């Protein structure tokens, strides 16, 4: 095969130009491809919903890649290990209710399962604003992460979604935007203690991340570490069971709302 450089360019552009318009209007848009975002994308896509997930970095996986202090091992509890096992991740029983998994395998297989279910991923794209209609978050305003990093004045594009998830982790990027621009008078985003994340406490943080997974403004849901950041709850470090369960819970909440 005689490879033509320009044909490579045409192939990339033509496929992108064909696929990208399909996510202009979706059922659910997710910001952040960490563990909660990945589980939500997979769970929702398996029901036949049209799902798009935007990740500002080149790589997906959030904090899961690094395990604990770059040791590529994560810990989960019994209640959440089924989420890993369902996608073929090898889970080891370490005793006393603790289970371990390979961090790299976990990210790779959760991502693959979400894509196989029909979720569409776009990396290197940031959410810089929300689309608001009738006081309901109705989509994301997106731009290339490189544009933001370079400080270039380039207007973004907008996609519409019936429900939106902020799964951006500690920064809670979309919720911060909603609080700043919408200035809600009531609800979680209006509270003074919002976004004052607590210190490390795995026991309380793990339960809180599931409890705090909820609709924080009409049309906008917080999941994963973002939920704890919004509600001022504790962080939990390299134990990921709560994150996985948060992804399941936010999916259930949205499916009930979309019925």
Confidence at residue 193, expressed as pLDDT on a 0 to 100 scale: 66
Residue 226: inside a domain:
yes
What distance in Å separates the CA atoms of residue 72 and residue 78, rounded to the nearest whole number? 20
How far is C-alpha 13 from the geometric centre of its chain's CA atoms?
Answer: 26
Say if CB 39 and CB 247 are below 8 A apart.
Answer: yes
Q: Could you tell me the residue range of the domain that residue 116 belongs to?
A: 25-258
What distance in Å separates the CA atoms of residue 121 and residue 245, rounded to the nearest whole number? 21
Confidence at residue 252, expressed as pLDDT on a 0 to 100 scale: 99
CATH number reported for the structural domain that contains residue 131 in this entry? 3.50.50.60
Residue 79: inside a domain:
yes
How confident is the chain (259 residues) per 10-residue block, as mean pLDDT?
Answer: 98 98 99 99 99 98 96 98 99 98 99 99 98 97 98 98 98 96 89 83 96 98 97 95 99 96
Residue 204: inside a domain:
yes
Residue 185: inside a domain:
yes
Number of domains in the chain: 1
Residue 110: inside a domain:
yes
Residue 1: inside a domain:
no
């Amino acid at each position: 095969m005689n490879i033509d450089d320009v044909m490579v360019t045409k192939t990339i552009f033509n496929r992108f130009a064909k696929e990208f318009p399909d996510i202009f209007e979706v059922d659910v848009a997710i910001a952040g491809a960490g563990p909660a975002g990945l589980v939500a994308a997979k769970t929702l896509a398996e029901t036949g919903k049209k799902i798009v997930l935007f990740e500002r970095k080149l790589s997906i996986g959030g904090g899961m890649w690094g395990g604990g202090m770059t040791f590529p091992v994560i810990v989960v509890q019994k209640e959440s290990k089924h989420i890993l096992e369902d996608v073929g991740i090898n889970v080891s029983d370490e005793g006393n209710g603790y289970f371990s998994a390979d961090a790299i395998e976990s990210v790779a297989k959760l991502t693959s399962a979400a894509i196989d279910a029909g979720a569409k991923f776009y990396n290197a794209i940031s959410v810089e604003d929300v689309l608001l209609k009738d006081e309901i978050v109705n989509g994301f305003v997106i731009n290339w992460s490189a544009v933001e990093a370079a400080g270039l004045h380039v207007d973004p594009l907008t996609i519409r979604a019936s429900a939106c998830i902020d799964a951006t982790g500690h920064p809670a990027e979309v919720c911060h935007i909603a609080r700043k621009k919408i200035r809600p008078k009531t609800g979680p985003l209006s509270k003074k203690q919002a976004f004052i994340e607590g210190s490390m406490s795995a026991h309380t943080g793990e339960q809180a991340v599931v409890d705090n997974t909820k609709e924080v403004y009409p049309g906008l849901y917080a999941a994963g570490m973002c939920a704890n950041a919004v509600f001022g709850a504790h962080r939990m470090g390299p134990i990921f069971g709560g994150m996985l369960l948060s992804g399941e819970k936010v999916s259930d909440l949205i499916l009930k709302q979309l019925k």
